[in-house]
Every structure is written in structure tokens, then in C-alpha cells.
């Protein structure tokens, strides 16, 4: 872990602000990922700016999870490049600046909520008072402080989602990647998640979130519409609706998908 920047700082979101404020958080150029004969991501190019929530919108099998796994360095591209804060991925230099919430729970069911969070803190080098403070803050944030010492196996699906989010954010990352974070979550909790994402944006945190809930698309700063590994369109939700001449995102998505077929 010697190559990884120290994350035990009072305000990591402002570190390097002078040098990175003007540059994008993520630059993806001509990205391709193949699994045998299957091309899961096809010639993808996009730029994601600091402090925005960029939504990856598309049905299952559209390449959202594959793209996120490449962004965090778990899967190498077949071709093309990904740069985060000017560093080509994968890079140990930016590992501590990333937070990742997987689609499938990464929690240890036989540990308590507190023990799960302490495990993630240990990975990122948070120790002692700083660790205890961050765990307390995040458990309060996701409304699980009263269940801190309960074994996760006793949690409902929504509670596990909340704890997974807390684990992904406990080290105060600058870029957060959330893969279907609201699957199985009730509408009230979904709304609280998105309100919190907006607050993180205001604090300078960049979020990349995948979802197939098209009603969540309007909560994003910008969107990338994906289908069969192809980027159909990318822009603000309002601009995409105008371009499609539609009033809701589901109809707009179908419009862009039809345009691709015709092309």
C-alpha cells in the first residue's frame, strides 16, 4: 500500500484541487472489452467532470457493470484507455481515492455492521480515532447506528444496501462508483440515497452510478445511455429529452435505441 496516497486527512475532497479542478475526473477513449466473441463494451468514449453524478442507464446486459469494473481496475480493457485524474487505470496512485459499491453484496454476513465497516477502514488505512469517527458518522448517515453491533445476516435487503453504501464511502473517496445501488430498495430509501448523492456532489465528490430505473435518470447531472455495449447518447437528462422529442426518459431511450438500429 506504499504507493497509495494517505487518506487520513481532514478534507480529502479539496486535496489537489488547484491542479485537478480544471481537468475532468474521468476520460474514456475508444474503450473496448471483449469476452471471447462477445463485445461487452464497444468503442466507448466519454468524459466525466468533477462533482457531477453521471448515470449509466440501460437494461441488463448493456455493459454497465463491465464498464464500472474497468473503471476500478478489476477488469482490463481489450483496447482503449481510461484515465482518472490524469492517471491511466489501473493505478495504485488513485486506488485510495475510489469508492466502489458492487451490485452483489460484498459484506461479510457473519460479522456485525461495525466489524464490516472496520474491515473496509483497515483496507484504506484508517486507524484508531479516525476510524471510529468515520464509522460512527457513516452509520448515522445511513440510519444504522442502532444496528451497529448486529450481525449482518439478520439485516433486510435494504439495510444491507445501506451498509454497503456506507462501506464504499467511509474513507471519503473523491470518485464513487455505484453499481445498481437501489436494487431492492423501497421508494423512500431510494429518494434518500439520491438526496445524499446530490449532497456529495456539492462537496466535490464525483459519482458514477448505474441503474435500469429510468425514473432515476433525471436525478443525474448527465447520462450515458447504453445498449448492447454501445453508447446510444450522452448529455443532460433535459437535453436528451429535447433531442428525442419525448416527455419521459423511457420513451427517449427507445427513441435513441431505434436511431441506432436504423444507422
What domains can be seen in the chain, in order of their start residue?
24-97+178-232 (3.40.50.300), 101-172 (no CATH)
pLDDT digit string, tens, across residues 128-153: 999 999 999 999 989 999 999 999 99
The Cα 210–Cα 55 span in angstroms is: 6
The Cα 219–Cα 258 span in angstroms is: 24
pLDDT digit string, tens, across residues 156-174: 988 999 999 999 999 999 9
In this structure, of 58-62, 81-85, 136-140, the range with the lowest mean pLDDT score is 58-62
Q: Are the C-beta atoms of residues 104 and 157 closer than 8 Å to each other?
A: no
Distance set, CA 99 to CA 19, 96, 144 (Å): 21, 8, 20
The Cα 31–Cα 74 span in angstroms is: 15
Q: Are the C-beta atoms of residues 134 and 171 closer than 8 Å to each other?
A: yes
Q: Are the C-beta atoms of residues 108 and 97 closer than 8 Å to each other?
A: no
- Please tell me the predicted confidence (pLDDT) of residue 22: 67
Is the pLDDT at 222 greater than 80? The verdict is yes
The Cα 113–Cα 63 span in angstroms is: 31
Residue 76 in grid coordinates: 482490463
Point out which residues pair with 35 in neighbouring strands: 38
Is the pLDDT at 37 greater than 90? The verdict is yes
Point out which residues pair with 31 in neighbouring strands: 44
Amino acid at each position: 500500500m506504499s504507493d497509495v496516497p494517505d487518506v487520513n486527512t481532514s478534507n480529502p475532497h479539496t486535496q489537489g484541487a488547484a491542479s485537478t479542478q480544471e481537468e475532468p475526473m474521468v476520460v474514456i477513449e475508444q474503450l473496448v472489452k471483449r469476452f471471447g466473441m462477445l463485445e461487452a463494451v464497444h468503442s466507448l468514449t466519454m468524459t466525466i467532470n468533477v462533482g457531477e453524478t453521471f448515470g449509466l442507464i440501460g437494461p441488463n446486459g448493456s455493459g454497465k457493470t463491465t464498464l464500472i469494473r474497468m473503471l476500478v481496475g478489476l477488469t482490463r480493457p481489450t483496447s482503449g484507455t481510461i484515465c482518472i485524474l490524469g492517471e491511466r487505470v489501473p493505478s495504485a496512485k488513485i486506488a485510495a481515492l475510489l469508492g466502489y459499491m458492487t451490485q452483489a453484496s460484498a459484506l461479510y454476513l457473519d460479522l456485525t455492521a461495525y466489524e464490516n465497516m472496520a474491515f473496509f477502514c483497515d483496507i484504506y488505512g484508517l486507524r484508531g480515532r479516525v476510524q471510529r469517527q468515520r464509522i460512527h458518522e457513516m452509520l448515522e448517515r445511513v440510519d444504522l447506528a442502532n444496528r451497529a453491533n448486529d450481525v449482518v445476516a439478520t439485516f433486510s435487503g435494504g439495510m444491507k444496501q445501506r451498509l454497503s453504501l456506507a462501506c464504499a464511502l467511509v474513507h471519503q473517496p473523491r470518485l464513487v462508483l455505484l453499481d445498481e445501488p437501489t436494487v431492492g430498495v423501497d421508494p423512500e430509501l431510494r429518494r434518500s440515497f439520491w438526496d445524499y448523492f446530490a449532497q456529495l456532489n456539492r462537496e466535490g465528490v464525483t459519482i458514477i452510478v448505474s441503474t435500469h430505473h429510468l425514473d432515476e435518470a433525471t436525478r443525474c447531472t448527465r447520462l450515458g445511455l447504453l445498449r448492447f455495449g454501445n453508447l446510444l447518447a450522452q448529455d443532460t437528462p433535459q437535453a436528451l429529452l429535447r433531442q428525442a422529442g419525448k416527455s419521459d426518459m423511457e420513451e427517449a431511450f427507445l427513441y435513441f435505441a431505434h436511431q441506432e438500429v436504423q444507422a
